[in-house]
Amino acid sequence: MMIDAGKYRYKITIIKETKTKDADGFIHDEPVVVLQPYAEVKTTRGMTLIANGSDFEKAFTRFVFRFPVTPIDRKMFVLFREKKYSIEYINNIDEANIEMELQCKEVTH
């Protein structure tokens, strides 16, 4: 199966947060980069949410990229355009080990 490499236009960063102790002895989460693939990014359209009677809390962003060698889990986060997303669902598309899909929700502060 040929993949159209041109559809992966956006660079995303997948991170995991590791607990580290700073110089003062306080423990905090330190982001560690796991992967920086180029991805296809799609968001749920506002009209789709309204038509389905959903609230905007259920809006997902879909990231699709080439299947990575590095394992990815739901404890990790995606960084894209200065926003942080929690990984809600991981899908090996068609179980073919060619593309991976991440359904993510924006983490609001």
Q: What is the pTM of this model?
A: 0.81
Taking only the tens place, the pLDDT of each residue in 92-108 is 999 999 999 999 999 96
Nearest alpha-carbon partner for 92 in 67, 63, 60: 67
Quickly state the pLDDT bin for 1 (edges 50, 70, 90). Answer: low
Distance CA 18, CA 7 (A): 32
The string of pLDDT tens digits covering residues 37-74 is 999 999 865 545 455 555 555 678 999 999 999 999 99
Asked whether the beta carbons of 56 and 49 are under 8 A apart, the reply is yes
Give the list of residues 6+ apart from residue 73 with CB closer than 8 angstroms, or none.
Answer: 87, 90
Instruction: Give me the amino acid identity at 19.
Output: K
- In this prediction, residues 22-50 reach a mean pLDDT of 82
